[in-house]
Amino acid sequence: MKQQDKGATRGSQEQIVRTVCLLYGCQCNACCDRIEQALRRVRGVRNVEVNLYKATATVEHSESCEPRQLVEAVEHTGYLASIVEPPRPPAVPPADPAAPPRANGGTHG
């Protein structure tokens, strides 16, 4: 389960990636602070936002930082985490060759 959005490049062509982690056992602001500090110590992490109410951590990091490193950092603090799977685009059904062609430019109704 992994959500990664590639962002703009910074510096020497370094690609920044956004990964969202689901957090388990995070129940207060002190928990969030511990998790945020642990994630900021991971090499390659640029920014961390922990949301207590959504139980997520959104981490911007270099491509060299593997998402599993983020999970391990959270787990080292005593909490559990998993990577959120990015949404997949809907599948487009194949065109039915037997269907009649649609008229273009008509009005509706």
Q: Across 12-98, where does the E strand assignment appear?
A: 14-24, 45-51, 56-62, 80-83
Angle at 92 between CA 82 and CA 95, to 5 degrees: 165
For helices 67-76 and 29-40, give the axis angle rounded to 10 degrees. Answer: 130
Does the pLDDT at position 87 exceed 90? no
Q: What pLDDT does 10 receive?
A: 47
Q: Tell me the per-residue pLDDT of 14-63, one tens digit each, with 9 for 90 and over.
A: 899 999 999 999 999 999 999 999 999 999 999 999 999 999 999 999 99
Domains of the chain: 4-83 (3.30.70.100)
Element (H, E) at 8: strand 4-10
Average pLDDT of the chain? 84
All residues at 6 or more sequence positions from 62 whose CB lies less than 8 Å from its CB, including other chains = 14, 15, 16, 17, 44, 46
